[in-house]
Amino acid sequence: MTVKETAARIKALEIQGATSIAVQAVKALGKEIRNLEWSQPTEVLEVLNESISLLVESRATEPMMRNGLKYIKTKIHSTQWSSEAVLRSLVQDAERDILMMFNEAKNIMIDVGARRIEDGDTVLTHCRSSGVTSTLIRAHEQGKDFRVLQTETRPKYQGRLTAYELVEAGIDTTMIVDSAARHYMKEIDFVLVGADAITSEGNVINKIGTSQIASAALESRVPFYVVSTLLKFDPVTIHGAYETIEERHTDEIWEDPPYGLKILNPAFDVTRRDYIHGLITEEGIISPHSILEAIHRHYPWML
């Protein structure tokens, strides 16, 4: 796919999940630069910047995508190249390296998360996270017998995708409406959700409704875990910037509302670190308070 096609699919939610979005964006950028015909290096840099801007604008709250694109951009800027052959090789290597980084981090994270699940557990999850789904499936493949409660995740019902994948894998799965999460919290051993972004303070940005579930979990003394690679850390938050919360089209809530009705449709919310029992990452289960130290150890280039 081209950069334009990929950006359009991301914006339309045809590509979902932070990892999937990051992978497809990196592949699209790599393809765009490798196939570019140019005579001056400035032409390459113009297309590079335009392509990155288009992809980033398709989903504001996706630092994993931005980090992946930044990795390729940094390699292009920091390496000497003067021919199409050298540039193609450089971009291909950078794309391969960052995708390998994504994959290795995710696999380690999944193993860590799967070890947290025990026989007899009931796990509540929200939205669709490939990391959460893979963690649950990995635990099931290890022979563990557990149950999952899955929210619908309105208004786009991303929870149905998770439920479908879990049922296909043979996992005992029950769907509930979003507003029933607090009601069923007494049955839950722990909550397991994904993340679209992690801030420098250790706060987590995820699908709207996540913070309400975290609040209910804290009230019920139920551990609340976030499955996320450290690659979802957003470096701009170190300098005081806030993560942008995307406002989705009102048609997702009501296609034909009465005249004069105002509708708000934020896609994400912020779960503060004090509500989070632990971040399940490629470094293991860590406190959200220690996120900066973990980034320094694993991905200093992000800073």
Label residue 278 exposed, middle or buried (CB < 10 Å: 0-12, 13-18, 19+): middle
Tell which of 70, 105, 140 closes a domain.
Answer: 105
- Percent of the chain exceeding pLDDT 90 equals 92
How much is the pLDDT for 242?
Answer: 76
Residues 95, 111, single domain; the answer is: no
pLDDT, average across residues 21-43? 95
pLDDT, average across residues 20-31? 96
Residues 29, 97, single domain; the answer is: yes
Average pLDDT, the chain: 95
pLDDT digits (tens, 9 = 90+) for 39-64: 899 999 999 999 999 999 998 788 99
Residues contacting 79, CB < 8 A, separation 6+: 90
pLDDT, average across residues 80-107? 95
pLDDT digits (tens, 9 = 90+) for 267-281: 999 999 999 999 999
Residues 114, 217, single domain; the answer is: yes
Residues 136, 99, single domain; the answer is: no
Q: Of 95, 105, 82, 106, nearest to 32 (Cα)?
A: 95
- Percent of the chain exceeding pLDDT 70 equals 100
How much is the pLDDT for 274?
Answer: 97
Domain containing 272 equals: 107-302
Q: Are 1 and 9 in contact (CB under 8 A)?
A: yes
220 band by pLDDT with thresholds 50, 70 and 90: very high
Q: Check pLDDT > 80 for residue 241.
A: no
Residues 198, 118, single domain; the answer is: yes
Residues 116, 227, single domain; the answer is: yes
Residues with catalytic function? 127, 196
Q: Check pLDDT > 80 for residue 108.
A: yes
Residues 271, 210, single domain; the answer is: yes
Tell which of 65, 89, 105 closes a domain.
Answer: 105
Residues 131, 257, single domain; the answer is: yes
How much is the pLDDT for 17?
Answer: 83
Residues 101, 120, single domain; the answer is: no
Residues 193, 71, single domain; the answer is: no
137 band by pLDDT with thresholds 50, 70 and 90: very high
- Spell 78-87 as b/e; 16+ CB within 10 A means b: eeebeeeeeb
> What CATH number is given to the structural domain containing 82?
1.20.120.420
pLDDT digits (tens, 9 = 90+) for 163-189: 999 999 999 999 999 999 999 999 999
Q: Are 204 and 288 in contact (CB under 8 A)?
A: yes
Q: Is 198 helix (H, G, I), strand (E, B) or coil?
A: strand
Tell which of 105, 137, 155 closes a domain.
Answer: 105
Residues 97, 164, single domain; the answer is: no
pTM of structure: 0.91
Domain count, the chain: 2
How much is the pLDDT for 244?
Answer: 79
pLDDT, average across residues 25-45? 94
Q: Are 217 and 224 in contact (CB under 8 A)?
A: yes
pLDDT digits (tens, 9 = 90+) for 249-264: 999 999 999 999 999 9
pLDDT, average across residues 289-296? 96
Residues 189, 230, single domain; the answer is: yes
> What CATH number is given to the structural domain containing 217?
3.40.50.10470
